[in-house]
A and B are shown apart, each in its own frame.
Chain A
Amino acid sequence: MAVAARKAGRAGAGAANKTTSTKGSTRGAAPNSPQFDKNQDLSAYNEMLLIRRFEEKSGQMYGMGLIGGFCHLYIGQEAVVVGMQMATKEGDQVITGYRDHGHMLACGMDAKGVMAELTGRRGGLSKGKGGSMHMFSKEKHFYGGHGIVGAQVSLGTGIAFANHYRENGNVCLTYFGDGAANQGQVYESFNMAQLWKLPVVYVIENNRYAMGTSVSRASAQTDFSKRGVSFGIPGEQVDGMDIRAVYAAGQRAIEHARSGKGPYILEMQTYRYRGHSMSDPAKYRTKDEVARMREEHDPIEQVRRRLLESWKLSEDELKAIDSRVREIVNEAAEFATHDPEPDPSELYTDILL
């Protein structure tokens, strides 16, 4: 049944995503990737660049001691969340784990508020009480930001349960990593989601390393698209570095969930350039591996090349985009540096309603 649904999904999308094969290197722009028009490429470039520059700035501010605790950067994975978000409609929800800055920006949450939360200031999205891993926006349908690996999978399934209960036609995108994919509650959630046909898309961001443990050292089944097979949940592997492939797969998966057929699994094959968190020396992988991914598969570079070559944008036009993005990020950093810390009286607020 899973296989049938998967085939149907692919056929329905028109352009089959080559990355559904399970063997071999499937990264890089597949020759038959679905195409973007100029506006889509421009929009993708803007959104991804904002995340990249925001995260670079976060890393810098962490280095300056302005950001405390843990800080998990999304650099390298930008195409996943931006492509998925392009496939949603107003009302669809997003929930994810602790590597969440990119998701918040893609959901349209204010860069200043996110950065000020990272620096623990009163203007942060959680008034400085949540930090990097804990931000939320009901208005933007973003449900966090969760620090317990895998917990967001049951929570996202619950949000989908509420959509089903209310019959509101919304779909919950539930993101988790290759590490969380080994948690027990993930499979408890898969079971209920398929049993009750809940409108949820499970987006597994396989960046190859659960903290410092590579997929092959932690997972008996390394094809994460198959993790729903015993529940009859269809899944596919997607080149998560090619935003067009992400978008097309996202459309198929969301349509499946929205139409009442239940959950769908997308394994996004992606890569994080930076360490697990800021204090990660990354001894578990070679520099060559990181350099190769950056040089040959960078999600932003792929779009940039199309903008120059296919859409004939000039270097100056791209520079202008870059300056605008940089301005947003600098403003956010400026705000997050000078905004005051929370008032001491905030210690005892927001515990109960």
Chain B
Amino acid sequence: MAIDILMPALSPTMEQGKLAKWLKKEGDQVKPGDVLAEIETDKATMEVEAIDEGVLAKILVSDGTDNVAVNTPIAILAGEGEDVSAASSAKAPAAPVPEAQPAPTPDMQAEGLADRPAPAERPQQSDLSTPAAPSVITNRTSYNAMAEIPEGTELVNMTVREALRDAMAEEMRKDQNVLVMGEEVAEYQGAYKVTQGLLQEFGAKRVIDTPITEHGFAGVGVGAAFTGLRPIVEFMTFNFAMQAIDQIINSAAKTLYMSGGQLGAPIVFRGPNGAAARVGAQHSHDYAAWYSNVPGLKVIAPYTASDAKGLLKSAIRDPNPIVFLENEILYGQSFPVPKLDDFTVPIGKARIHREGKDVTIVSFSIGMTYALKAAQELEKEGIDAEVIDLRTLRPMDTDTIVASVMKTGRCVTVEEGFPQSGIGAEIAMRIMENAFDYLDAPVARVTGKDVPMPYAANLEKLALPNVAEVVQAAKAVCYR
């Protein structure tokens, strides 16, 4: 059977090129890998290699021909034992007609690619309309976090630090695959003492001090998670996780999708996030908005000790990569925690921390301290604020926010992060998409100022949000 040798494309976007030179002539014996000809475009020169064995029966496009369309037959190869003259006289089939192509991907330009031809065959062309994303809005009712703790459960006061430690210890007792790694997590007992006592209980095999090597140990954690271990990777602060963000996003978050669902990474990246006190711009960044931007991650940022414990336990059991954002200032704060053998909090559900009817204040993590104090101030002025603690940033509990805004008609968001593309911006958009007609005022946001965190005490105070700003914003959306 004679084989057509087609004009190849050099790049995904090439449509035609010049057949510069034939390196084999009619009658030559060729084998796979032999260079048959050279082709050129304005960008590159490349060689056409033989894929099959045989005799070059006929050259259809001669040396020096310009504008040869991709997929045009340029020569005929006679197969083994085939009559060369018969093959060469066989009529070449018509070149495939190029079909309309979607615009080239801009990224391709990086490697100097030009316009791409239509694929020779494209069976069962799928419907090009984008399917709708699965809706997260199932109803407009708030999630009832009260039901997480059975009535009559004894509550014990505990710091966020202790709650996090207990969560890890409980999960490590249950599952041998759970381990903790990071800088100073073992012998030093944790830079912020969150892993206190874990080395003593679980030993150096499961509580692992790493060198100062964030990029490397984040990758080691993800590789271990690919095999089914459940590493908890502690970053001394999320500022340092910038060294490792490639592994968090490119390796941990994307691999499940890129593998067609075969290979997930059950890993928790945790540590303090955002500002502490007087540590300057490189130790004060709030990365909540960054991680919440990435499909394939779940992002959690608890405020209370109870949520910290219940959510960290859920995160460790979750089969997906999780970014668990803690806060250094909250570590030492105490909250009532249910005394239960196995207390967990579902990921992706907000908690109404304080019910109200006049304005909704949405926050998370340390932002809740401003929100709650503001609610107390507002009460004195006759404004009844509902305060929602998001707890999970991705997936975000839109239902609970929307249901509350439908009730109050007004919303203020509070976070320590920067304003542009922040969590507040996202919440405002979701309200517009889902409850625009219920709004009695534009959504307002209270955020950290749009500056790197200053060191000086007075400037740092100015850079962070404060209670007065939240009160002012709430009054403004209430037109008071």
Interface residues of A (CB under 8 A from B): 52-53, 56-57, 59-60, 62-66, 68-70, 75, 93, 95, 124-131, 134-138, 143-148, 151, 153-163, 165, 184-185, 188-189, 191-192, 195, 273, 275, 277-282, 294, 337-338, 340-345, 347-353
Contact B259–A144 (Cβ < 8 Å): yes
List 8 extra interface pairs beyond A63-B9, A138-B263, A192-B220, CB under 8 A: A64-B9, A68-B116, A148-B246, A154-B219, A279-B10, A340-B123, A345-B131, A352-B320
Which B residues lie within 8 Å of A134 (CB)? Answer: 255, 258-259
Q: Determine whether the beta carbon of A146 is less than 8 Å from that of B260.
A: no
Binds A, one of B45-53, B191-199, B384-392: B45-53
Contact B9 A62 (CB under 8 A): yes
Contact of A155 with B125 in the complex, beta carbons under 8 Å: no
7 contacts between A and B (CB under 8 A): A52-B33, A65-B119, A158-B219, A188-B213, A275-B46, A279-B44, A344-B131
Q: Is the beta-carbon distance between B224 and A158 smaller than 8 angstroms?
A: yes
B224 with A151: CB separation less than 8 A: no
CA distance A162 to B267 in the complex (A): 13
Inter-chain CA distance A156–B229, complex, in Å, is 14
* Given contacts A165-B179, A192-B217, A278-B10, A350 and B260 within 8 Å (CB-CB): yes
Q: Are B246 and A151 in contact (CB under 8 A)?
A: yes
Instruction: Judge whether B259 and A189 touch: CB under 8 Å.
Output: no
Residues of B within 8 A of A62 (CB): 8-9
Judge whether B262 and A192 touch: CB under 8 Å.
no
Please determine whether B256 and A151 come into contact, CB atoms closer than 8 angstroms. no
Q: Cβ of B210 < 8 Å from any Cβ of A? A: yes
**1/0 contact trace for B292-318 toward A, CB 8 Å?**
000110100000000000000000000
B90: CB under 8 A from chain A?
no
Cβ of B113 under 8 Å from chain A: yes
- With known contacts A192-B217, A353-B319, A337–B256 Cβ distance under 8 A: no
Q: A157-B223, A189-B216, A351-B296 are in contact. Are A63 and B260 (CB under 8 A)?
A: no
Q: Which residues of B contact A159 (CB under 8 A)?
A: 223-224, 226-227
Report, nearest first, the 4 A-B pairs whose CB atoms are least far apart. A158-B223, A154-B219, A63-B8, A188-B216
- B262 close to A136 (CB less than 8 A): yes
Given A278-B10, A345-B131: A191 and B224 interface contact (C-beta under 8 Å): no
A154 is contacted by which of B9, B51, B220, B228 (Cβ under 8 Å)?
B220
Contacts of A68 in B (CB 8 A): 12, 116
For residue A263, give the distance in angstroms from its CB to the closest CB of chain B. 13
Residue of A nearest to B98 (CB): A65
Q: How near does chain A come to B244, taking the closest CB pair, in angstroms?
A: 9
**Does B108 interact with chain A (Cβ within 8 Å)?**
yes
User: Which A residues are in CB contact (< 8 Å) with B258?
Assistant: 126, 129-131, 134, 136, 144-145
Within 8 A of A (CB), among B25-84: 32-33, 43-46, 49, 51, 70-71
Picked from B49, B222, B260, the residue with its CB within 8 Å of the CB of A130 is B260
Could you say which of A52, A128, A131, A154 contacts B247, with CB atoms under 8 Å apart?
A154
**Does B434 touch A at the CB level, under 8 Å?**
no
- B259 and A344: CB pair below 8 A? no
CB neighbours of B133 from chain A (8 A): 348
Known contacts A53-B32, A64-B120, A347-B131; decide if A341 and B219 are in contact (CB<8 Å): no
B interface vs A, CB < 8 Å?
6, 8-12, 32-33, 43-46, 49, 51, 70-71, 105, 108, 111-113, 116-127, 129-131, 133-134, 179, 205, 210-211, 213, 215-229, 246-247, 250-251, 255-264, 295-296, 298, 319-320
Note all chain B residues with C-beta closer than 8 A to A195.
211
Contact B220 A158 (CB under 8 A): yes
Q: How far is the CB of A161 from chain B (nearest CB, A)?
A: 5
Task: Give Cα A277 to B179, complex, Å.
Answer: 40
B124: which A residues are within 8 A, CB to CB?
340-341
Chain A residue at smallest Cβ distance from B253: A351
Among B126, B130, B250, B319, the most chain A Cβ lie within 10 Å of the Cβ of: B126
Q: Within the assembled complex, what's the spacing in Å between the Cα atoms of A275 and B213? A: 34
A75 to B33, CA, bound (A): 10
Instruction: Check if B259 sits within 8 Å of A162, measured CB to CB.
Output: no
Contacts of A158 in B (CB 8 A): 219-226
Residue in A128, A278, A348 with the greatest tally of chain B CB atoms within 10 Å: A278
Q: In the complex, how many angstroms separate the beta carbon of A239 from the nearest chain B beta carbon?
A: 21
A281 and B250: CB pair below 8 A? no
Cβ contact of B219, chosen from A75, A157, A351, A353, cutoff 8 A:
A157
In the complex, what's the smallest C-beta–C-beta distance from B12 to chain A, in angstroms?
5
CB distance from B115 to the nearest CB of A (A): 11
List of A residues within 8 angstroms of B229 by Cβ: 162, 165
CA distance A343 to B221 in the complex (A): 33
Report A-chain residues with C-beta under 8 Å of the C-beta of B319.
Answer: 353
Q: Are B226 and A155 neighbours in the complex by a CB distance under 8 Å?
A: yes
Cβ-neighbour of B257 out of A144, A184, A277, A351 (below 8 A): A351
Asked whether B219 lies within 8 Å of A151 as measured between CB atoms, the reply is: yes
B10 to A: closest C-beta gap in Å: 6
Q: Which residues of A contact B122 (CB under 8 A)?
A: 341
Q: Closest A-chain residue to B206, C-beta based? A: A165
Cβ contact within 8 Å between A281 and B262: no
Contact B247 A151 (CB under 8 A): yes
Distance in angstroms between the alpha carbons of A93 and B223 in the assembled complex:
11
Nearest Cβ on chain A to B32's Cβ, whole angstroms: 6
A165 near B224: Cβ-Cβ < 8 Å? yes
- Contacting pair A279 B111 (CB below 8 A): yes
B residues in contact with A162, CB < 8 Å: 223-224, 227-229
Q: Are B296 and A352 touching (Cβ within 8 A)?
A: yes
Which of A127, A277, A279, A280 meets B260, CB within 8 Å? A127
Give Cα distance in the complex from A156 to B223, angstroms: 6
Contact across chains for A348 and B131 when beta carbons are under 8 A apart:
yes
Residues of chain A lying within 8 A (CB to CB) of residue B131: 344-345, 347-348
Max count, chain A CB within 10 A of own CB: residue among B11, B225, B259, B319: B259
Q: Which residue of B lies closest to A195 (CB)?
A: B211
Q: How far is the CA of A295 from the CA of B263 in the complex (A)?
A: 41
Q: Check A65–B210 contact: CB distance below 8 A.
A: no
Q: Is the CB of B261 within 8 A of A349?
A: yes
Contact B295 A192 (CB under 8 A): no
Q: Is the CB of A157 within 8 A of B220?
A: yes
Provide the bound-state CA to CA distance between A22 and B222, in Å: 35
| A344 with B127: CB separation less than 8 A | yes
Determine the distance from Cα of A352 to Cα of B33 in the docked complex, in whole angstroms: 43
Do residues B11 and A279 form an inter-chain contact, with CB atoms below 8 A? yes
Nearest Cβ distance between residue B126 and chain A, in whole angstroms?
Answer: 5
CA distance A185 to B43 in the complex (A): 34
Are B126 and A343 neighbours in the complex by a CB distance under 8 Å? yes
Q: Which of A60, A125, A280, A351 contacts B295 (CB 8 A)?
A: A351
**Which residues of chain B have C-beta atoms less than 8 A from A349's C-beta?**
261
Alpha-carbon distance between A138 and B264 when the two chains are bound, in angstroms: 11
CA distance A265 to B216 in the complex (A): 18
A64 and B6 contact, Cβ closer than 8 Å, known pairs A154-B223, A162-B224:
yes
Give the docked Cα–Cα distance between A210 and B227 (Å).
Answer: 30
Closest CB in chain B relative to A31 CB, distance in Å: 27
Taking CB atoms, residues of chain B closer than 8 Å to A165 are 179, 205, 224, 229
Bound Cα distance from A62 to B49, whole angstroms: 13
Task: Tell me whether B298 and A154 are in contact (CB under 8 A).
Answer: no
- Given known pairs A158-B224, A162-B229, the reply for A191 and B116 (CB within 8 Å) is no
Are the CB atoms of A64 and B12 closer together than 8 Å?
no
The residues of A that contact B215 with a CB separation of less than 8 Å are 154, 184-185, 188
A279-B223 CB under 8 A given contacts A56-B49, A350-B256: no
